[in-house]
């Protein structure tokens, strides 16, 4: 009974089967020929390098993505070490694939926000209700008193692929545990207050202000700006004061007693330490203050 119906099915279904077999075979042949004719030679080294890259396509290396960087570095080994998210580990892996060796390596670059003013410390002349982006807000003058400081609409946050920068109470704040140093935020900031600094130590001393106004003007606009008094320069050689603004000379960076004194003596407390471990402390402190 069952056998008979199976036989019947077979009898009526065979043209369909033949058709599918025929079409399938035809396409198989066409694709086989095409895959031979249109073969692309892929360098095994390029594929291996691409496998060792983080694959986040952040563009810190200056190429369109990890794929094009892999191709470029295979052709020109001098480009090793351009991958910021991968760091020295990736550089070593690439060198191994290309049977080269890398030595040393500079201190990793990390972003430093040159502004210390959260929303309570800033002065506004007007209320901004436009497009919520720093670039747009920056196009309007005289909304925020300080021309140099953080705008706080988070263009840097949008540019970060690693969730490592956030707007905390109106001020961009870097999470150094997540940061890979890809420089995206520093490119995104319309105020250019995010500087890439070589972090020779996990936490670095920085001047968290970018204001080149005179001390008097800065004091009027911001409670925590650098007034260019030069007290830090007197205490330590790593500081320089130009255009009413103190800055750290990172080429001769070292922490000694003078730096500690300068940090504590700074009248507006604009010299601070940022980096791994420092953020956690300030987060604990802030509810008390």
Partner 1 sequence: MDTLNTLLLGFISIVLINNLVLTKFLGICPFLGVSGRIDMAFGMGMAVTFVVTLSGILTWMIDHFLLKPYDLQVMQYVCFILVIAGAVQLVEMYVRKFFPPLYESFGIFLPLITTNCAILGLCLFINLWEINSLIEAAVLSIGAGVGFTMAICIMAGIRENLNLVDVPKCLRGAPITLITAGLLTMAFMGFSGMIK
Q: Which of 79, 87, 88, 133 binds partner 1 (CB under 8 A)?
A: 133
Q: Are 201 and 275 in contact (CB under 8 A)?
A: yes
Asked if 170 is part of the footprint of partner 1 (rule: CB under 8 A), the reply reads no
How many residues line the site for partner 1 (CB under 8 A)? 22
65 near partner 1, judged by CB under 8 A: yes
Which CB atom, from 39 or from 216, has the smaller least distance to partner 1? 39
Residue/partner pairs of 244-248 with CB below 8 Å, 24 or more apart: 244/211, 244/212, 244/213, 244/214, 244/215, 244/218, 245/207, 245/209, 245/210, 245/211, 245/212, 246/207, 246/209, 246/270, 246/271, 247/207, 248/204, 248/205, 248/206, 248/207
Q: Among 2, 3, 4, 38, which residue sits at the site for partner 1 (rule: CB under 8 A)?
A: 38
Answer yes or no whether residue 29 interacts with partner 1 by CB under 8 A: no
Min dist. Cβ of residue 25 to partner 1 (A): 11
Among 10, 21, 23, 75, binds partner 1 (CB under 8 A): 23
Residue closer to partner 1 (CB basis): 2 or 40: 40
Asked if 6 interacts with partner 1 (CB under 8 A), we say no
Examine residue 16 and tell whether it contacts partner 1 (CB under 8 A): yes
Residue among 70 and 189 whose Cβ is closer to partner 1:
70
Q: Would you count residue 140 as binding partner 1 (CB under 8 A)?
A: no
By CB under 8 A, residue 89 contacts partner 1: no
Kindly state whether residue 19 participates in binding partner 1, applying the rule CB under 8 A. Answer: yes
Q: Does 15 bind partner 1 (CB under 8 A)?
A: yes
Our finding on whether 102 is near partner 1 (CB under 8 A) is no
Q: Does 163 bind partner 1 (CB under 8 A)?
A: no
Residues that bind partner 1 (CB under 8 A): 15-16, 19-20, 23-24, 27, 30-31, 34-35, 38-40, 64-65, 67-68, 131-133, 136
């Amino acid at each position: 009974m069952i056998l008979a119906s199976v036989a019947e099915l077979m009898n009526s279904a065979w043209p369909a089967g033949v058709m599918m077999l025929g079409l399938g075979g035809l396409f198989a042949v066409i694709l086989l020929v095409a895959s031979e004719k249109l073969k692309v030679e892929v360098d095994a080294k390029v594929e291996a390098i691409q496998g060792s890259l983080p694959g986040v396509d952040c563009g810190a290396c200056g190429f369109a993505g990890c794929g094009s960087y892999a191709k470029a570095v295979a052709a020109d080994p001098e480009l090793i070490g351009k991958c910021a998210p991968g760091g020295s580990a990736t550089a070593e892996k690439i060198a191994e694939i290309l049977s080269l060796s890398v030595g040393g390596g500079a201190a990793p670059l990390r972003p430093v926000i040159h502004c210390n003013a959260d929303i309570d410390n800033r002065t506004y002349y007007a209320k901004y209700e436009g497009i919520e982006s720093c670039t747009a807000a920056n196009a309007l003058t005289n909304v925020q008193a300080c021309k140099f400081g953080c705008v706080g609409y988070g263009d840097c946050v949008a540019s970060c692929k690693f969730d490592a920068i956030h707007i905390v109470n109106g001020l961009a704040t870097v999470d150094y545990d997540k940061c890979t140093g890809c420089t995206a935020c520093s490119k995104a900031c319309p105020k250019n207050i995010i500087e890439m600094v070589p972090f020779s130590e996990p936490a670095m001393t920085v001047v968290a202000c970018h204001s080149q106004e005179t001390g008097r003007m800065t004091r009027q606009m911001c409670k925590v700006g650098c007034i260019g008094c030069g007290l830090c320069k007197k205490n330590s050689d790593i500081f320089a004061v130009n255009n009413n603004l103190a800055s750290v000379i990172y080429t001769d960076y070292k922490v000694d007693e003078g730096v500690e004194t300068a940090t504590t003596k700074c009248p507006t407390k604009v010299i601070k330490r940022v980096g791994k471990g420092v953020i956690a402390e300030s987060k604990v402190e802030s509810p008390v203050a």
